[in-house]
Structure 1
Amino acid sequence: MELREFFGDIWGKLSKEEQTLFLESARLVSYERGTVLKNSTDQCEALYAVTRGILRVYMISEEGREVTLYQLKEGDFCLFSASCILSRIPFPLLVEAQTDVTLYRIPAQVYQSVLQTNIAVSNFTSGIMSNRLADILWLVDQILFKRMDSRLAAFLCSQSELYHTDTLTLTHEQIAAHLGTAREVVSRMLKYLQSEQMIVLSRKEIRLTDKESLSLLAGDA
């Protein structure tokens, strides 16, 4: 994807100078799977526009437990990587390459300079932020009010759709990090799903054999 494609219709609402500023300042870079692009102590440096691969945005508790807030794929903007441009208060979030990724890095100060003067970019940014906050509120609802078996079924279904495969290469520990729970809980729930013939477990792989039943178990999770 070219950088202008990320902005959609609002690209035409940028001045020639603003378009040139974005095009000349953005850098196309690649990262290997597992690379932490941003940790919770990083300064506000850049926004990410994903052209290939998947990013994971997550938090870590004081006890070291992780929980995935949302995932970003091709065509998505990662605004929270430079959240200080919005509130001037950095969010303690981490961004990790869940696969090999290629993305544009847009300097935070460049984006902020256009954001402050162009109402179209301001509205565009507000829309993205609203969607991300909705994702986080949905996650809070899941953690507080949904059963773990439903959350796990929903997670497996979503990953199958995201990666376009019914065979997921995930460890129990990785799933626990996504869901913000203990590995032992995930192992117990996976064994239950296997006993119900919804999945088949093997070393570092989970094959979804009955996605219809998994979807029913997931419900509105």
Structure 2
Amino acid sequence: MSIETYLPFWQKLTPTQRETLSRAATTHRVQRGTIVHNGSEDCVGLLLIVSGQLRAFILSDEGKEITLYRLLSRDICLFSASCMLNSIQFDISIEAEQDTTFYKIPTKVYHHLMQESAPVANYTNELISARFSDVMWLMDQILYKRLDSRLAAFLLEESALTGATELKITHDAIARHLGSAREVVTRMLKYLHSEGAVTLSRGSITIADEKKLRGLAQESLR
């Protein structure tokens, strides 16, 4: 699939701008677990996801991770080109959660387009606003919502992403997503098990009662 199908402003570009963008964009394929963007240490460019799944996360000084949002097919990752956003300093890292294929648009090329084209600038501002909304929603969850609710919502999200009720995920991986400790996640999972919402086995968690799990997750569902 060609790059123009991923850019809603494509038809509003001039022929020269389209040619420049088409020539500059490169296709990349990475394996699961690859760090695609490493915080402020690099500015790899704008990423357009063709297939697979990426995870945007932040890392505290103590080494604790927390997932900000996921990027799926047809999503666009702007903060991997955060160096072009003068007033925004985000130490966000991007990791491939699955084998992933994406287009990469060099930062300088996209920044030049933003300066030349109002539709590109407007689209970029909308994208920034949407991501800020994601982050603010997450902060509200961390500060004001119970961990059992957040955990239940996470399990439902994972089930929707994978299309399965059996989730092949470790307690440690869940803790990294939620910005918690593995021991706390294990305790919360045992609570969900005691409520009959999930069953636990080594290396996997199975949703046993989706309705009950959804009730527990109510305040953390979007």
For normalisation by structure 1, the TM-score amounts to 0.96
The runs of at least 4 consecutive aligned structure 1 residues that moved more than 6 Å come to none
State the 1:59 CA deviation.
0.6
State the 1:220 CA deviation.
2.6
Any idea what SS the aligned residue of 2:85 has? helix
State the 1:139 CA deviation.
0.3
Alpha-carbon distance in structure 1 between the residues aligned to 2:155 and 2:164 = 11
Alpha-carbon distance in structure 1 between the residues aligned to 2:58 and 2:6 = 26
Alpha-carbon distance in structure 2 between the residues aligned to 1:128 and 1:114 = 15
Q: Is residue 39 from structure 1 mapped to residue 34 from structure 2 by the alignment?
A: no
Unpaired runs of at least 5, structure 2: none
Amino acid at match of 2:176: A
State the 1:40 CA deviation.
2.0
Alpha-carbon distance in structure 1 between the residues aligned to 2:26 and 2:167 = 32
Alpha-carbon distance in structure 2 between the residues aligned to 1:214 and 1:129 = 32
Any idea what SS the aligned residue of 1:83 has? helix
Contact 1:44 1:90 in 2 (8 A): no
After superposing the two structures, state which structure 1 stretch, 157-166 or 31-40, moved more: 157-166
State the 1:84 CA deviation.
1.6
Identity score, percent? 44
Alpha-carbon distance in structure 1 between the residues aligned to 2:31 and 2:184 = 30
Alpha-carbon distance in structure 2 between the residues aligned to 1:164 and 1:94 = 26
1:1-221 aligned within 5 A: 1-8=1-8, 10-87=9-86, 89-221=88-220
Any idea what SS the aligned residue of 2:90 has? coil
State the 1:76 CA deviation.
0.3
Q: Spell out, residue by residue over 1:119-177, the C-alpha distance to the aligned partner (whole angstroms, 9 max, x if none).
A: 00011111111111100000000000000000000111111112222111111000000
Any idea what SS the aligned residue of 1:74 has? coil
Coordinate RMSD, CA, aligned? 1.1
Unpaired runs of at least 5, structure 1: none
Q: Spell out, residue by residue over 1:69-92, the C-alpha distance to the aligned partner (whole angstroms, 9 max, x if none).
A: 101000000000011212265421
Amino acid at match of 1:113: H
Q: Spell out, residue by residue over 1:72-115, the C-alpha distance to the aligned partner (whole angstroms, 9 max, x if none).
A: 00000000001121226542111000111000011000000001
Alpha-carbon distance in structure 1 between the residues aligned to 2:197 and 2:73 = 29
Number of residues of Structure 1 aligned to a counterpart in Structure 2: 220
Any idea what SS the aligned residue of 1:197 has? coil
State the 1:57 CA deviation.
0.4
State the 1:41 CA deviation.
3.8
Amino acid at match of 2:133: A
